[in-house]
Amino acid sequence: MRIAFQKVAFVLKKAAQATLLLTAVAGVTATSIASAVAANDRYAAIVVDANTGKTLFSSKADELRYPASLTKMMTIYMMLDAIKAGRMTMNTQIPVSAYAASRPPTKIGFRPGQTIRAEDAILAMITKSANDVAAAVGEYLGGTEERFAQMMTAKARRLGMRNTTFRNASGLPNKQQRTTARDMAILGMALRQHFPREFAYFSKSSFNYRGKTIRGHNRLLGRVEGVDGIKTGYTNASGYNLVSSVNLDGRRLVAVVMGGNTGAARDAHMAQLIRKYLPAASRGRTSGALFASKTIPQQDVPEVVAAAPMAAAPVAAPRTVPIPATRVQPVEAPQYASETGEGDREEMQVLALAAPASRPAARAAQAALAPRPSEPIPFASETSIDPVTTASAPTKGGWAIQIGSLPSQEQANDMLAKASGSMGDLLARVTPSTQTFQKGSTIFYRARFVGFPTKQAAWDACASLKRKNYGCFAVAN
């Protein structure tokens, strides 16, 4: 009886989601849908005619946002680029290190030392948005995920993604990992144009792996006519993101919605934008730059979001076509400990991390891959904003405890978040903090809790953490 009830509930839920999309396409609830998505500071959107590059609609398209798992579009681009260059094949076995295996959900769930075939890795990132797989790919192609993120950023610049900076391969929260809706549209168009055959992977709503069917998060596939990809994304800080590709009767669109309050509102708003702007798209390719400087008048769509015309960046020939300057606006840094990864209904699981392993295959690939950016991406420094340190954290006085020194700030933050979650109220009155120090040419990050009033309080906290298998010692702050 219980199983039957769960099946009925599941069917009703899917029917409700489909109904919401259909009503959006029919225009019945257009105003309420737009309001639900756009009435927040995270919202941004753009619709581009993929045949001509003309911007059909834009709202806050050049303001900085967190990409979340839209990041994996670039990770996949880098994989396909390496395959095209002969540096790997679809059958290449990608090792999963202890670091990659310990990434927070969503994930496939590997044990350290296992491998995944490159083609399965692509499908896992598209459907499941697997963070463990993305990290493994980053380590394989870049030696370390940090090095791979530098390569991703360099590639983004060459594609014309002027305002995007990557810090990891997955899109897991990092305050310095930023993008814009326009840049994500450029990346979506580049994936289709540069890898037209492989772009079909983005239309997969599920795939079979090791005897199990893994289903994706992109609910517009098969429900909105013409949608043939691409990718969803979500963290607490980013809101619900979606890049969609549409190909119908010779008309092609790439549309981006970022910062939705819910997955359903984001999907319905995307369906609304597709319905409004697909008739305005041209049939057939037009030569020249992908993004033109003019926009279609928007007086017929006040319920979406009024948007001023703006110039757009080219994709087809980023080395020869100048990129106009665009206005950007910073966003607040996320509180990392409260973040979740891709997936509308995933629970947070932060694990203690091991440093990524460097392998001969990765080192060999590094020399052949794209060079570093002309201006190197800086490491976080003592003056950088720490995503888990607030203004109320005492910088001097009292006692602190240290639970680890790790090779990246993200790993230190992950360890602090896991410790906080496992200790209940014990650490509620102290503040997680990271501090950098340099050993040789390598920067490390101390993971500390600061604000203990006495040495005894710090010792007591360490004793409790050690019972949970954490290394810990007390220091005067």
Q: Is the pLDDT of residue 347 over 70?
A: no
Catalytic site residue 69? Answer: yes
Catalytic residue among 58, 129, 408, 420: 129
Q: For the chain, which domains are there? A: 28-338 (3.40.710.10), 380-476 (3.30.70.1070)
User: Which region among 82-91, 151-160, 231-240, 448-457 has the lowest average model confidence (pLDDT)?
Assistant: 448-457
* pLDDT band (50, 70, 90) for residue 160: very high
* pLDDT band (50, 70, 90) for residue 414: confident
- Those residues whose C-beta lies under 8 Å from the C-beta of residue 12, and which sit 6 or more positions away, are none
Beta strand extents in 51-195 (DSSP E only): 55-59, 93-95, 115-117
Q: Give me the mean pLDDT over the 445-451 stretch.
A: 88
Q: Give me the mean pLDDT over the 451-474 stretch.
A: 87
User: Which region among 273-282, 338-347, 454-463 has the lowest average model confidence (pLDDT)?
Assistant: 338-347
Angle between helical axes of 145-159 and 181-194 (0-180°, round to 10): 90
Q: Give me the mean pLDDT over the 277-293 stretch.
A: 66
pLDDT at 23: 42
- Those residues whose C-beta lies under 8 Å from the C-beta of residue 223, and which sit 6 or more positions away, are 18, 21, 22
pLDDT at 413: 84
User: Which region among 290-299, 407-416, 466-475 has the lowest average model confidence (pLDDT)?
Assistant: 290-299
CA distances from 73 to 61, 185, 384 (A): 18, 11, 28
- Closest among 191, 175, 324, 161 to 252, alpha carbons compared: 191
| DSSP, res 179 | B
Catalytic residue among 58, 69, 170, 433: 69
User: Which region among 23-37, 222-236, 381-395 has the lowest average model confidence (pLDDT)?
Assistant: 381-395
327 or 188: which leads in pLDDT: 188
pLDDT at 35: 53
Q: Give me the mean pLDDT over the 237-241 stretch.
A: 94
- Closest among 265, 267, 106 to 171, alpha carbons compared: 106
Task: Report the share of the chain in percent with pLDDT over 70.
Answer: 68
As a whole number of angstroms, the distance between CA 335 and CA 349 comes to: 15
User: Which region among 117-121, 168-172, 352-356 has the lowest average model confidence (pLDDT)?
Assistant: 352-356
What the block records as the tokens of 371 is 């060079």
Q: Is the pLDDT of residue 26 over 50?
A: no
Q: What is the mean pLDDT of the chain?
A: 74
As a whole number of angstroms, the distance between CA 460 and CA 75 comes to: 44
442 or 29: which leads in pLDDT: 442
Catalytic site residue 129? Answer: yes
Catalytic residue among 54, 60, 72, 231: 72
User: Which region among 121-135, 184-198, 252-266, 443-457 has the lowest average model confidence (pLDDT)?
Assistant: 443-457
pLDDT at 285: 64
Q: What is the pLDDT of residues 86-125, one digit of tens each?
A: 999 999 999 999 999 999 989 999 999 999 999 999 999 9
pLDDT at 175: 92
pLDDT at 474: 87
